Structure 1
Amino acid sequence: MDLEKPPARPSQHPAPEGCLAIAIRVPVRIIVLVLVVPVRMVWDALVVAGRFLNDTMLRPLGRALLWVGRALFVWPFVGLWRYVVVPVAQGLAWLGNVLVVVPLVWLYRYVLTPLGHACAWLARGIGAGLGWLYARGLAPIGHAAMWVLRGLGAMLGAFGLGAFAVVAWLVRYLFVVPAVWVYEWVLAPLGRAIAWCARGLLWVVSTIVTGIGIGLYWIGRVLFVLPALGVYRWVLAPVGRVLAVIGREIWEALGHAWRVAGRISLAVGRFLASLFRWIFVEPVRWVYRTVLTPVGHVVRDTVLRPAAEAARSVGRATRQALADVRKSVRQARADFRRMLLGEPKKREAVARREPPGRETRTLGSSTTALTKD
């Protein structure tokens, strides 16, 4: 047993409401209840009618349409697939196997494979001949040509390096040195002066633009932002709070009225059901129980049961008469056959494996052909 007290839960009291909400709630709930009760009763009546129609008409109709759809669309296609398409496809597959696959396999195995082996042997012979020709003829010729070309390349390389050194010295002292002097003593100071002037002009322009922007900001704040803020804070926000309270109360009133209207609709429905039962169902039940049931019993005992017994006796007599007729016809047929063909030969008795009598089997006796007593 736990002797310690459980921790106290925080109290869940609703937040205090203002007088505006309390003053709006009661008339709004009364008006909404008056407006919602007919709507809820019509809704419940439509729900009951819809369930009745669904149970009595729409569901059987849907099942019938489903059966008709299956009979018209599904089962014919299933039968067509099962008894036409599948056998035809199997036949075509067997025919394609016999006419295409088997000849192609035979052609590959007994024609193309030996031909390929022969071509491969011929290609290996040609490759061996070309390899011998390359190793014994083309390779020495290529080596000699490469030795000659390397000698010519060495001679041309020595001449080309001297010419390149002369051209490089001329280009350096005729173009590079004058270009570097012009860049260091003319272009660089001129670029620095232009950059300093551009930075000064940019500072002046940015200062002017910043001042204009600050002025426009304060003008827009004073002319538009502060009035809009005041209108929102002192007009729109209180009106929005009032409308929010009214909307919340209307929504809660709608929910409350819908639930109350449901209870009222349920009570009215039960009253109408009881009224229908006492006006129609109970009198019909009383008439059925006190009038129709005794009358039905009297009719059953005085009319239906004797009629059924008479019909059964007539049926028994008819069956007996038909059996006698069949027996007489069989006897006449047998007499006619005996008159035309004579007496039939009697069958000879054959030794049976089992004893004819119903004797009890014991441990000392047997009924088989080999161990029969």
Structure 2
Amino acid sequence: MDMDKRPPAGGGDGCLVGVIRVPVKIVAVLVVLPVRVVWELLVAAGRAVHRHVLGPLYVHVVEPLLRALGWLLTTLFKIVFVWPWAGLWRYVLVPVGQGLAWLARGLYERVLAPAGRFLTTHLLRPLGAGLAWLCRGGMRYLLAPLAKGVTRIVWALGMALFFWPWVALWRYVLTPVGHGIAWLAAAVYGYVLTPVGHGLVWLAVAVFRYLLRPVGLGLAWLIVAVYRYLLRPVGLGTAWLAAGLYRYVLTPAGQVLLWAWHVAGRIVAALWRGLKLVGWVLVGWPASRVYRHVLTPVGHAVREVWRTGRAAVREARATVRRALFGTPPGEPARSQARTLGSTTAADAAPADEISLPRRQG
């Protein structure tokens, strides 16, 4: 593939694009292609390791270990924290609580309730009636006059101690002092604070008019001039330079790198298909031929020899048993031992007397 004969992207971008594209293509072929090949090989190796090593290891080793560990931790938690408290509650606290409740209920019903009823009927009720009669008499003839006298004395003392002193303090002390403080504040406001405030206002107006406003106007003019004659031209030049760099350098370089990436992918895919074909020709196809034309016939022959030998051994044991113990009455005649060329299945021959226990074992 001739990279120099490809038309420039975007229709005639000039000789500058061609001059930049040729080194970029060379760098892409020398750098991007090996990186892409190594990347594809690493991806294939990672997939193979995940499929044939990590996946079975997790399924058959890690996951059963985690399940067993979870079951063990759950069981230990139940044994240490759940079952002891449940047993304590079910077999100790509940029976003890029920026994205490039954004892308290019996004590209340058999002892406390009858004693309370007896004391209420024969002692507390008459005693309460007598005390109520005594309190009514004492309240009427003794406590009521005494309470009236004490109330009058307390009222007089309260007025003398807590009301009249505060009234006198307000009338003869606080009111004159308040009037004096109000007159003093009015004088200070009228003859001190008002002139000082007017002077501060005039000073603030003068500072703003003759200092802050000229300084602010000068700074604004300076900012406008810096923006108009410095920042704006520099920004326009930077934007033009960035646009030219993007249009005539970065865009062709990106297109060349993208093309080189696709070409590298196709080359890697072709190499992978070639490697698979070579592996099949060198390993897979010979192995399949050997398995089909060598191992399979040998396995069939070994299986037939094994089955024939087993049938012969069974027949010999049956013959020895008949010679020693005789033929059982009503026993069906046994089939002849099959040969290598027979197509009858080995399991079609009747099994001997010990075949069932041997199979079960």
TM-score w.r.t. length of structure 2: 0.62
Q: CA deviation at 1:40?
A: 2.2
Relative contact order (alpha carbons < 8 A, sep ≥ 6): 1 or 2 greater? 1
Aligned equivalents of 2:151 and 2:286: distance in 1? Answer: 131
How big is each residue's C-alpha offset from its partner over 1:82-133, in whole Å with a ceiling of 9 and x where there is no partner?
A: 7898765554344314663233323432336878768987899599679947
Partner of 2:266: 263
Aligned equivalents of 2:246 and 2:230: distance in 1? Answer: 24
Does 2:192 correspond to 1:190? yes
What's the RMSD between the two structures over aligned residues? Answer: 5.0
Aligned equivalents of 1:284 and 1:296: distance in 2? Answer: 16
CA contact 1:33–1:254 (8 Å) conserved in 2:
no
* 3-state SS of 2:234 partner: helix
- Pair 91,273 (structure 1): closer, same or farther in 2 beyond 3 Å: same
| Equivalent of residue 199 in structure 1, options 198, 201, 210 | 201
**Number of positions where the alignment pairs a residue of Structure 1 with one of Structure 2:** 308
Aligned equivalents of 2:157 and 2:303: distance in 1? Answer: 141
How big is each residue's C-alpha offset from its partner over 1:193-245, in whole Å with a ceiling of 9 and x where there is no partner?
A: 111111011112223133223334444554688423332221x2223324444
CA contact 1:21–1:249 (8 Å) conserved in 2:
no
Partner of 1:340: none
Partner of 2:334: none
- Pair 216,307 (structure 1): closer, same or farther in 2 beyond 3 Å: same
Aligned 1:251-290 pairs, distance under 5 A: 254-290=257-293
Q: CA deviation at 1:263?
A: 3.0
CA contact 2:32–2:264 (8 Å) conserved in 1:
yes
Does 2:61 correspond to 1:65? yes
CA contact 2:21–2:253 (8 Å) conserved in 1:
no
- Pair 169,65 (structure 1): closer, same or farther in 2 beyond 3 Å: closer
Partner of 1:37: 33
- Pair 90,201 (structure 1): closer, same or farther in 2 beyond 3 Å: closer
Letter in 1 for 2:203: L
TM-score w.r.t. length of structure 1: 0.60
Q: CA deviation at 1:268?
A: 1.7
Aligned 1:1-373 pairs, distance under 5 A: 19=13, 23=17, 27=22, 28=24, 31-32=27-28, 34-66=30-62, 69-70=65-66, 73-77=69-73, 91-97=87-93, 100-111=96-107, 132=132, 137=138, 141=143, 145-146=147-148, 149-150=151-152, 153=155, 170=172, 174-184=176-186, 187-207=189-209, 208-219=211-222, 222=225, 226-234=229-237, 236-245=238-247, 246-247=249-250, 250=253, 254-298=257-301, 300-301=303-304, 303-314=305-316, 316=318, 320=321, 324=325
Q: CA deviation at 1:78?
A: 5.5
Letter in 1 for 2:104: Y
CA contact 2:25–2:256 (8 Å) conserved in 1:
yes
CA contact 1:29–1:254 (8 Å) conserved in 2:
yes
Aligned equivalents of 1:159 and 1:55: distance in 2? Answer: 101
How big is each residue's C-alpha offset from its partner over 1:304-355, in whole Å with a ceiling of 9 and x where there is no partner?
A: 443233234345557x569949x9xxxxxxxxxxxxxxxxxxxxxxxxxxxx
How big is each residue's C-alpha offset from its partner over 1:241-286, in whole Å with a ceiling of 9 and x where there is no partner?
A: 2444445555555555444433332222112111211222222223
- Pair 185,40 (structure 1): closer, same or farther in 2 beyond 3 Å: closer
Q: CA deviation at 1:26?
A: 5.0
Give the unaligned 5+ runs of structure 2: 1-9, 329-361
Give the unaligned 5+ runs of structure 1: 1-15, 328-373
- Pair 146,60 (structure 1): closer, same or farther in 2 beyond 3 Å: farther
